[in-house]
């Protein structure tokens, strides 16, 4: 069954271009142009990836991305004519898996869609197999700290109360890199390499934004420093 894509784009020319390009590689694409239409579509079908334009006629595309990340497990790509660094950083911070700037080359857009779909599908397979066959030799089944449990094989983070903490692909990759190298200081470049599969430029604020989100999602006990500690002039280290 082909992966299902929902495109939220109010520019008819760009919409036709994206739909044609993705259907040519065998994907199932629905297109809407307003947030109200998005709400109707998402209530009727399950999508593997949502592609969201930021400039929508009836609302804020960034808010839509943030709401979608809180309630759904699909991949998210932002489409935008805004190319400033701060816009990319904000897109990453609200939970997008990638950020494509208009105008874009069709081949690049298709490659990045495939990359996000591959990670989304790998995560779904890993979670469906959790508790089934044993992991490959040498793979860590679980890493525990202060009641939290990181499960790399199924890409899950479980809180002390046994609830699951939902992390974006970038957040999980970054947190996992830090936890699995506990006590070691990782530079921002090393951490950008851990957030693989994306074409974000290696600027410091992108990593800083991810760390801020993780500190909010994975709070340390009251009275102690955050699990992810800043090492000024170098990068970050996990001290849980």
Q: Shortest CA distance to 187 belongs to which of 143, 228, 149, 231?
A: 231
The pLDDT of residue 138 is 45
The pLDDT of residue 72 is 63
The pLDDT of residue 74 is 86
Q: What is the mean pLDDT of residues 218-230?
A: 92
Q: What is the mean pLDDT of residues 29-37?
A: 96
Which CA distances in Å does 36 have to 9, 57, 59, 80, 190? 12, 10, 9, 19, 41
Q: Shortest CA distance to 42 belongs to which of 8, 16, 19?
A: 8
For residue 42, pLDDT beyond 60? yes
> CATH code at 10?
3.40.50.2300
Which of the residue ranges 16-20, 59-63, 84-88, 180-184 would you say has the lowest mean pLDDT? Answer: 84-88
Examine the domain organization and report whether 24 and 71 are in the same domain: yes
190 confidence band (pLDDT: 50, 70, 90): confident
User: Which residue range(s) make up the domain with 140?
Assistant: 134-238
For residue 51, pLDDT beyond 60? yes
Examine the domain organization and report whether 150 and 76 are in the same domain: no
Say if residues 206 and 200 touch (Cβ distance below 8 Å): yes
234: preceding bond cis by omega (within 30 degrees):
no
**pLDDT tens, residue by residue, 113-164:** 998 898 788 777 766 665 544 444 444 568 999 999 999 878 889 999 999 9
The pLDDT of residue 134 is 44
Q: Among 86, 109, 127, where does a domain finish?
A: 127
> CATH code at 213?
1.10.10.10
Using only C-alpha atoms, what is the Rg of the chain? 18
Q: Shortest CA distance to 112 belongs to which of 200, 4, 46, 240?
A: 200
Examine the domain organization and report whether 178 and 196 are in the same domain: yes
The pLDDT of residue 238 is 96
Q: What is the mean pLDDT of residues 193-206?
A: 60
Looking at per-residue confidence, does 83 or 163 come out higher? 163
CB atoms within 10 A of CB 37: 17
The pLDDT of residue 148 is 94
User: Rounded to whole angstroms, how far apart are CA atoms 96 and 116?
Assistant: 10
For residue 206, pLDDT beyond 60? yes
Q: What is the mean pLDDT of residues 195-199?
A: 56
Q: Cα torsion for 182, 188, 191, 196, to the nearest 10°?
A: 180
Q: Among 110, 127, 144, where does a domain finish?
A: 127
Strand order in the sheet with 186-187: 186-187, 235-238, 228-231
196 confidence band (pLDDT: 50, 70, 90): low
Q: For the chain, what percent of residues have pLDDT higher than 90?
A: 48
User: Rounded to whole angstroms, how far apart are CA atoms 139 and 119?
Assistant: 19
User: Rounded to whole angstroms, how far apart are CA atoms 226 and 221?
Assistant: 8
């Amino acid at each position: 069954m082909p992966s299902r894509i929902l495109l939220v784009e109010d520019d008819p020319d760009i919409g036709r271009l994206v739909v044609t390009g993705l259907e040519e590689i065998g994907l199932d694409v629905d297109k809407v142009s307003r947030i109200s239409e998005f709400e109707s579509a998402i209530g009727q079908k399950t999508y593997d990836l949502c592609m969201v334009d930021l400039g929508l006629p009836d609302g804020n595309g960034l808010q839509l991305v943030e709401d979608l990340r809180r309630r759904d497990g699909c991949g998210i790509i932002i489409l935008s004519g805004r190319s400033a660094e701060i816009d990319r950083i904000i897109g990453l911070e609200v939970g997008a898996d990638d950020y494509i700037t208009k105008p874009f080359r069709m081949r690049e857009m298709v490659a990045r869609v495939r990359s996000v779909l591959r990670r989304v599908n790998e995560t779904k397979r890993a979670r469906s197999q959790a508790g089934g066959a044993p992991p490959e030799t040498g793979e860590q089944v679980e890493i525990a700290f202060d009641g939290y449990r990181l499960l790399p094989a199924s890409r899950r983070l479980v809180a002390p109360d046994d609830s699951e903490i939902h992390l974006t692909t970038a957040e999980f990759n970054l947190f996992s890199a830090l936890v699995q190298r506990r006590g070691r200081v990782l530079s921002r470049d090393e951490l950008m390499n851990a957030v693989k599969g994306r074409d974000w430029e290696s600027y410091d604020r992108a990593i800083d934004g991810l760390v801020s989100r993780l500190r909010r999602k994975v709070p340390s006990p009251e009275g102690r420093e955050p699990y992810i500690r800043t090492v000024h002039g170098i990068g970050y280290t996990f001290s849980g």
